[in-house]
Amino acid sequence: MSAETPLIRLRGVTKMYGTGEVALMALKGIDLDIHAGEFVAIMGPSGSGKSTAMNILGCLDTPTSGQYLFKGAHVEALSRDQRARLRRRYLGFVFQGFNLLARTSAQENVELPLLYRGESAPVRHAAAAKALQSVGLGGWEHHTPAELSGGQQQRVAIARAIVTEPAVLLADEPTGNLDTRRSQEIMELLSRLNVEHGITVLMVTHEPDMAAYAQRLVHFVDGRIDSDAPNPHPIAVDLPVHPVGSH
């Protein structure tokens, strides 16, 4: 894949739910290119199609028609198992509700994707400790979600999403359950992961204050892309002078 080839390319993507009179066309022909290393905010009102598009990008759903290329491969032609393998290898997910296992330590929550991959215990332990360190939770490995604040729980969820070193981090309303200060902390963390680790970040949000951190803003309206433009003034995050994971 050349530097000019998009990491992700959607062409004429539609999504229809239901049939006949109750059919709903959630996406009405989406064209979208996303290059490696971008930080893109996907915005729009409820029912605009942004979450449907995110589910297709995350290989959680398939388009009714059109093409989805990831690293040049036609995702719409893959089997369910092949899409699952693509998800496990290349994609990380962060959700509004954290989705942590309640009676399980932060360390064990972060190890889960590696457990599904069949990695050995030493590999899982080392990778999870590194991921927690990179989100500022070194020393919190043995705490359960009940012992963590909302912001800390979302950091654990982000560590779980990046423990597999994904190419793309898909974040669906990642600050929706957090107060303003914690939301800013999470957005700064996502910005650092994007800049320092080169992770492509795709974030669905309805909050302009959070979208302000992205380099590019894509607005959905009624199942179509209404606008797609660079953010003229993205919020700059002060990066630490030391590499992530060092003391």
- Domain at 38, CATH number: 3.40.50.300
Query: What percentage of the chain reaches a pLDDT higher than 90?
Result: 82
The confidence score (pLDDT) of residue 1 equals 52
Checking if the pLDDT of 246 tops 80, the result is: no
Q: What share of the chain is helix, strand, coil (3-state, %, to 5)?
A: 35, 25, 40
| Inside any domain, residue 148 | yes
Q: Note down the domain range covering 39.
A: 8-230
| Inside any domain, residue 198 | yes
Checking if the pLDDT of 49 tops 60, the result is: yes
Q: Taken in order 238, 244, 246, 247, is the CA torsion positive or negative?
A: positive
C-alpha span between 176 and 169 (Å, rounded): 17
In total, how many domains does the chain have? Answer: 1
C-alpha span between 84 and 128 (Å, rounded): 21
C-alpha span between 41 and 114 (Å, rounded): 28
| Inside any domain, residue 247 | no
| Inside any domain, residue 77 | yes
Residue-wise pLDDT tens digits, 138-147: 999 999 999 9
Provide the pLDDT confidence category of residue 202 given band limits of 50, 70 and 90.
Answer: very high
Q: Which residues does residue 94 pair with via DSSP β-bridges, in sequence order?
A: 171
| Inside any domain, residue 236 | no
Can you list the alpha helix ranges (DSSP code H) found in 118-222? 121-134, 150-162, 180-197, 208-211
Checking if the pLDDT of 247 tops 80, the result is: no
**C-beta of residue 169 within 8 angstroms of C-beta of residue 202:** yes
| Inside any domain, residue 185 | yes
| Inside any domain, residue 237 | no
Tokens of 207: 């909050």
**How many residues in total does the chain contain?**
247
Residue-wise pLDDT tens digits, 111-129: 999 998 889 999 999 999 9
Tokens of 220: 């959905």
Query: How far are the Cα atoms of 95, 103, 189, 229 from residue 137, in angstroms, in the given order?
Result: 19, 18, 12, 35
C-alpha span between 76 and 64 (Å, rounded): 9
Task: Provide the 8-state DSSP code for 238.
Answer: P
Query: How far are the Cα atoms of 6, 37, 67, 78, 126 from residue 73, in angstroms, in the given order?
Result: 11, 19, 10, 9, 32
Identity of the amino acid at 159 = A
| Inside any domain, residue 223 | yes
| Strands of the sheet with 8-17, listed across from one edge | 24-34, 8-17, 65-70, 73-74
